[in-house]
């Protein structure tokens, strides 16, 4: 079954990206998809997940002082991943139609933050390449409490906190990749998310 993102929802998202550059959504991914994603994560956590690296190519390195999550990339061949990727594809098409963003592809990984893990303040657009345009973070944590930590904090250009997001099951955050530094505060409980990025192709670079 492929779930549909409504035109009204796409309008709301496009307006928010123009007005503020970010939006938090709680009702875009159906529960059955979230539950399937969480189940898959839990089954694969001890098998497929690898320590996350920072940077790209030869500069890529594991730096546990900056981030200490473990990740596994989504794969279009997998039917659970494909449900999520198909919703992201509808977002891509809907935003390109409304905002001419030139979004070209989408890459995403599951991330597990074990107790004590964090990701210090950073910007997602990779150094020397501006092709990450729109960041997405989807949370898969049922029964998350305030005292569990692991908040995603989004900052503005002047380093003021704009939003402190509790990583609750079903919340999707979208923000412009180059504009918003953000961090994952240390978590006290195992914290599951899917981070993803819409990119423009190098040929479109500089629109």
Q: Which does 83 bind (CB under 5 to 8 A by kind): Fe ion, ligand AKG, none?
A: none
Question: What are phi and psi for residue 106, nearest 5 degrees?
Answer: -140, 130
CB 36 within 8 A of CB 83: yes
Q: How far is the CB of 157 from ligand AKG (least distance, A)?
A: 17
119 is an interface residue for ligand AKG by CB under 6 A: yes
Among 95, 134, 193, 198, binds ligand AKG (CB under 6 A): 193
Q: Give Cβ neighbours of residue 57 (< 8 Å, ≥ 6 apart).
A: none
- Please give the backbone phi and psi of residue 146, each rounded to the nearest 5 degrees, phi first: -55, -40
124 forms part of the interface with Fe ion (CB under 5 A): yes
Q: Toward ligand AKG, which CB reaches closer, 10 or 184?
A: 184
**What is the nearest approach in angstroms of ligand AKG to the Cβ of residue 111?**
6
CA dihedral 10, 11, 14, 20 (to 10 degrees): -120
78-117 mask for Fe ion (x: CB under 5 A)?
Answer: ----------------------------------------
Four-point Cα dihedral 137, 143, 147, 150, nearest 10: -20
Cα–Cα distance between 46 and 154 in angstroms, integer?
Answer: 30
Using CB under 6 A as the binding rule, whether residue 137 contacts ligand AKG is answered as: yes
CB of 41 to Fe ion, least distance (A): 18
Site of interaction with ligand AKG (CB under 6 A): 111, 119, 124, 137, 152, 182, 184, 193, 195
């Amino acid at each position: 079954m492929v779930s549909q993102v409504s035109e009204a929802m796409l309008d709301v998202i496009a307006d928010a990206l123009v007005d503020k550059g970010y939006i938090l959504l709680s009702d875009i991914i159906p529960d059955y998809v979230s539950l399937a994603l969480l189940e898959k994560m839990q089954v694969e956590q001890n098998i497929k997940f690898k320590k996350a690296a920072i940077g790209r190519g030869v500069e890529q390195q594991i730096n546990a002082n900056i981030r200490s999550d473990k990740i596994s990339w989504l794969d279009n061949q997998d039917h659970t991943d494909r449900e999520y990727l198909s919703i992201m594809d509808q977002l891509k098409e809907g935003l390109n139609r409304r905002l001419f963003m030139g979004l070209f592809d989408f890459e995403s990984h599951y991330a597990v933050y074990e107790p004590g893990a964090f990701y210090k303040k950073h910007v997602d657009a990779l150094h020397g390449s501006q092709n990450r345009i729109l960041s997405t973070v989807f949370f898969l944590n049922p029964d998350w409490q305030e005292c569990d930590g692991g908040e995603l904090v989004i900052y503005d250009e002047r380093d003021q906190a704009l939003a402190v997001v509790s990583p609750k099951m079903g919340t999707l955050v979208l923000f412009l990749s180059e504009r918003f530094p953000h961090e994952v505060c240390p978590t006290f409980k195992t914290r599951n998310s899917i981070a993803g990025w819409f990119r423009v192709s190098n040929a479109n670079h500089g629109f």
